[in-house]
């Protein structure tokens, strides 16, 4: 996926010619408007996180006459995106309590959104050749190991000498490993890597990578949902190495398979190229953020929506949701008041899918959406620390990840990784010093009912920094935030559960209840924005009325042919 995404940014043409993507495009030709200009639908959006806000943003464009209301259960919008400024002396330092950077290569839509909201000037980009991009570390077994950068042609000697890379030689024999049985519908990432390559690679490198994205367990996360292209290649060519000739030949003709999910964002980008300010900033960037943190995106979205007539109700958790079978309108209730709200023609849920399952029940209290009731999400503690000293003797780089193979007695704090923020997002703070983030918990805390408090979180983080980096200085400012159930986990079987969820939504809500967000098609900020756009892309067409948002899970995996070079170039 990442490989595709890297090329997607350079692509010039996207040809929708692969399996479902082609079918989807031809369907779009049959455009019939189903809402008149004066009589727009009444649409309720559950959840005011980044998915809910961006859904409202794209809906407002697609259906200008619709009445859009966002219901957010907490006292603020933004979900787990939250940045705060800590005053230090005459300046301040930005602490991110959740996501902190965005990748321009994955989220093609996000830069456009940022530009549309007038935030281009606020973008701080980290260049691809900066130490924060080139120096990524994994802690194994008792020291930081820098990940070799293939494009620099380096790392061969390191690969032989570091225990972290044990098992990598299995790539040489992968071609001879028999392909998976035809009845195997999904398996864990660890099981796939062990079967095709070597268990040690799963426990070490891959588990670290998954900590950095899902804070999740390599033994439970789904190969089909997380690495769909590799899953597809094994099925199609019998082995990963066996797919190389085809991938190579595609690359030579300037094409590669990309995620069909990104299809709409690529079309949008072709229709309206980025302006020069942002294009220039992002052309050589590996990641970017905003001057005052990612909350800047949330605030700008909120302001824009309010100015365009979208109603936002904070402190308004929805406690029950059902469909009136006679009128096919959706009825919903607020927890606190227990009172009913106006009926909606369409409801778009962007809240955690298990929460949705809990509020959609029949008369006997049984959920109508059992497939969503099974979704698991991990909790993490994000500990921000700021040290006045600029040189604490730490390596320059993005930070490091801690693999699952580190025994728990060497990682009693159950840390997942450390981000060197002052290097990774340099230029954000108005005072000099060193800013770090330690992330604790994730799957290590599965089943826990009690978590460390803020003070304990900070001392655990300091213990890790002392043990791993020899850093014993006293921080000037700290903040620890427990983010409960913040990252949904796509566990083995996610694909088929989502397919069933699609059927359940159809059966009980006839498509009048739709879903988007991190519970379904990707846990990153970019994924959430993309899921919002994909959900509303055909909002003015007749077929939209019946769409659930989970259509991509029906049938086989879908990819699109992404052309990053025109023929003859």
Ligand X SMILES: C=Cc1c2[nH]c(c1C)Cc1[nH]c(c(CCC(=O)O)c1C)Cc1[nH]c(c(C)c1CCC(=O)O)Cc1[nH]c(c(C)c1C=C)C2
Residue 296 near residue 48, CB atoms below 8 Å: no
Q: For residue 257, give the nearest of 23, 533, 16, 26 by alpha carbon.
A: 16
CA 308/CA 326 separation, integer angstroms: 32
- Is the Cα torsion angle 71, 73, 75, 79 positive or negative in sign? negative
Q: Compute the least distance from the CB of residue 286 to ligand X, in Å.
A: 6
Distance CA 187, CA 190 (A): 8
Chain centroid to CA 391: 33
In the complex, what is the shortest distance from the CB of residue 535 to ligand X, in angstroms, rounded to a whole number? 19
Size of interface with ligand X, in residues (CB under 6 A):
24
Extract the tokens encoding 467.
């043990």
DSSP 152-216: GT--HHHHHH-GGGTTGGGGGTGGGSPPPPTT----BHHHHHHHHS-HHHIIIIIHHHHHHHH--
Cβ closer to ligand X: 103 or 112?
103
Which 8-state DSSP code applies to residue 350?
Answer: -
Query: Do 246 and 19 contact (CB within 8 A), yes or no?
Result: no
The answer to whether 405 and 203 have CB atoms below 8 angstroms apart is: yes
| CB 303, min distance to ligand X, A | 24
Q: How far is the CB of 482 from ligand X (least distance, A)?
A: 12
Q: Which of 101, 265, 346, 353 binds ligand X (CB under 6 A)?
A: 101
> Which of 3, 213, 473, 543 forms a contact with ligand X (CB under 6 A)?
213
- Tokens (6 digits) for 436: 């770090």
Q: How far is the CB of 379 from ligand X (least distance, A)?
A: 11
Nearer to ligand X, 96 or 345 (CB): 96
Give the list of residues 6+ apart from residue 267 with CB closer than 8 angstroms, or none.
Answer: 14
Among positions 79, 216, 452, 524, the unique one binding ligand X when judged by CB under 6 A:
524
Q: Which x/- pattern over 419-448 shows residues binding ligand X (rule: CB under 6 A)?
A: x-------------------x---------
Residue 340 CB contacts under 8 Å (≥ 6 apart), including other chains:
331, 332, 333
Q: Which of 103, 281, 302, 354 binds ligand X (CB under 6 A)?
A: 103
**Residue 106 lies near ligand X (rule: CB under 6 A):** yes
Q: Which is nearer to ligand X, 318 or 382 (CB)?
A: 382
Which region holds residue 528: left if phi is over 0, alpha if psi is between -120 and 50, else beta?
alpha
Least distance from ligand X to the Cβ atom of residue 160, Å: 26
Sites for ligand X among residues 398-417 (CB under 6 A): 398-399, 401, 416-417
The neighbouring-strand residues paired with 311 are 69
d(CA 190, CA 202): 5
Helices and strands: H and E segment counts in the chain: 21, 21
Closer residue to ligand X in complex, CB, 73/417: 417
139 binds ligand X (CB under 6 A): no
Q: Which is nearer to ligand X, 188 or 289 (CB)?
A: 289
Min. distance of Cβ 294 from ligand X in angstroms? 10
Q: Could you tell me which stretch among 29-37, 458-466, 518-526, 545-553 binds ligand X (CB under 6 A)?
A: 518-526
Query: What mask, x for binding ligand X by CB under 6 A, covers residues 182 to 211?
Result: -----------------------------x
Closest CB 16 distance from ligand X, rounded Å? 24
Dihedral sign computed on CA atoms, order 259, 502, 522, 186: negative
Token pair listed for 35: 């809402």
**Would you state the structure tokens that stand for residue 420, as one six-digit string?**
């060197």
Site string for ligand X, 349-388 (x = CB under 6 A): -------------------------------x-x------
**Which range binds ligand X by CB under 6 A, 54-62, 308-316, 349-357, 520-528?**
520-528
Looking at beta carbons only, is 66 or 518 nearer to ligand X? 518
- How far is the C-alpha of 279 from the C-alpha of 513, rounded, in Å? 37
Give the residue with the Cβ less far from ligand X, 55 or 134. 134
Q: Which of residues 41-100 bind ligand X (CB under 6 A)?
A: 98-100
Distance in Å, CB of 267 to ligand X, minimum: 21
Query: Count of CB atoms within 10 A of residue 547's CB?
Result: 22
Q: Least distance from C-beta 339 to ligand X, angstroms?
A: 36
Q: Is 1 in the site for ligand X (CB under 6 A)?
A: no
Judged by CB under 6 A, the residue of 479, 526, 531, 548 near ligand X is 526
Give the orientation angle of helix 50-62 with respect to helix 525-536, to 10 degrees. 30
Q: How far is the CB of 382 from ligand X (least distance, A)?
A: 5
* Closer residue to ligand X (CB): 126 or 322: 126
Least Cβ distance, residue 87 to ligand X (angstroms)? 23
Closer Cβ to ligand X, 478 or 526, answer by number: 526
**Which residues in 261-290 contact ligand X (CB under 6 A)?**
287
Strands 346-349 and 513-515: parallel
Positions in the binding site for ligand X (CB under 6 A): 98-101, 103, 106, 211-213, 215, 287, 380, 382, 398-399, 401, 416-419, 439, 523-524, 526
């Amino acid at each position: 996926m990442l490989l595709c995404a890297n090329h997607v940014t350079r692509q010039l043409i996207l040809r929708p010619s692969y399996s479902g993507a082609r079918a989807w495009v031809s369907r779009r030709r049959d455009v019939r408007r189903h809402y008149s200009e004066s009589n727009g639908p009444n649409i309720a959006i559950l959840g005011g996180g980044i998915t809910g806000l961006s859904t409202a943003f794209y809906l407002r464009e697609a259906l200008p006459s619709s009445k859009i209301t966002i219901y957010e259960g907490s006292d603020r919008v933004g979900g787990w995106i939250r940045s705060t400024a800590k005053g230090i002396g005459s300046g301040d330092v930005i602490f991110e309590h959740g996501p902190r950077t965005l990748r321009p290569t994955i989220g093609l839509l996000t830069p456009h959104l940022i530009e549309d909201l007038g935030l281009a000037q606020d973008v701080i980009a980290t260049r691809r050749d900066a130490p924060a991009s080139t120096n990524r570390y994994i802690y194994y077994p008792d020291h930081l190991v820098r990940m070799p950068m293939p494009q620099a042609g380096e790392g061969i000697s390191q690969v032989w000498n570091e225990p972290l890379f044990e098992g990598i030689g299995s790539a040489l024999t992968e071609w001879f490993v028999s392909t998976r049985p035809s009845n195997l519908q999904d398996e864990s990432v660890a099981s796939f890597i062990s079967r095709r390559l070597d268990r040690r690679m799963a426990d070490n490198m891959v588990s670290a990578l998954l900590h950095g994205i899902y804070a999740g367990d390599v033994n439970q996360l789904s190969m089909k949902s997380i690495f769909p292209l590799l899953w597809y290649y094994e099925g199609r060519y019998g082995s990963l190495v066996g797919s190389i000739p085809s991938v190579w030949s595609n690359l030579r003709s300037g094409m590669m398979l990309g995620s069909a999910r990104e299809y709409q964002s690529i079309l949008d980008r072709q229709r309206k190229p980025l302006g020069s300010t942002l294009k220039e900033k992002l052309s050589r960037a590996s990641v970017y953020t905003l001057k005052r943190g990612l909350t800047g995106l949330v605030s700008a979205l909120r302001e824009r929506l309010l100015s365009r007539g979208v109603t936002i109700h904070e402190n308004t958790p929805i406690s029950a949701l059902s469909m009136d079978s006679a009128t096919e309108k959706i009825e919903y209730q607020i927890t606190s008041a227990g009172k009913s709200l106006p009926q909606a023609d369409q409801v778009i849920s962007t809240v955690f899918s298990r929460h949705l399952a809990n509020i959609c029940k029949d008369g006997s209290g049984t959920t109508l959406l059992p497939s969503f009731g099974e979704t698991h999400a991990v909790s993490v503690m994000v500990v921000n620390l700021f040290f006045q000293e600029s040189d604490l003797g730490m390596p320059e780089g993005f930070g490091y990840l801690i693999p699952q193979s580190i025994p728990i007695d060497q990682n009693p704090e159950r840390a997942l990784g450390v981000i060197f923020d002052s290097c990774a997002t340099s230029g954000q703070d108005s005072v000099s010093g060193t800013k770090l983030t330690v992330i604790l918990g994730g799957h290590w805390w599965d089943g826990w009912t009690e978590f460390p408090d803020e003070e304990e979180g900070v001392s655990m983080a300091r213990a890790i920094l002392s043990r791993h980096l020899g850093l014993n200085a006293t921080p000037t400012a700290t903040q620890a935030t427990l983010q409960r159930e913040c990252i949904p986990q796509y566990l083995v079987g996610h694909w088929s559960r989502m397919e069933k969820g699609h059927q359940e939504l159809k059966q009980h809500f006839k498509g009048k209840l739709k879903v988007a967000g991190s519970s379904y098609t990707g846990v990153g900020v970019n994924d959430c924005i993309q899921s919002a756009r994909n959900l509303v892309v055909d909002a003015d067409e007749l077929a939209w009325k019946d769409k659930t948002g989970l259509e991509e899970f029906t049938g086989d995996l879908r990819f699109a042919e992404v052309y990053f070079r025109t023929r003859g170039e």
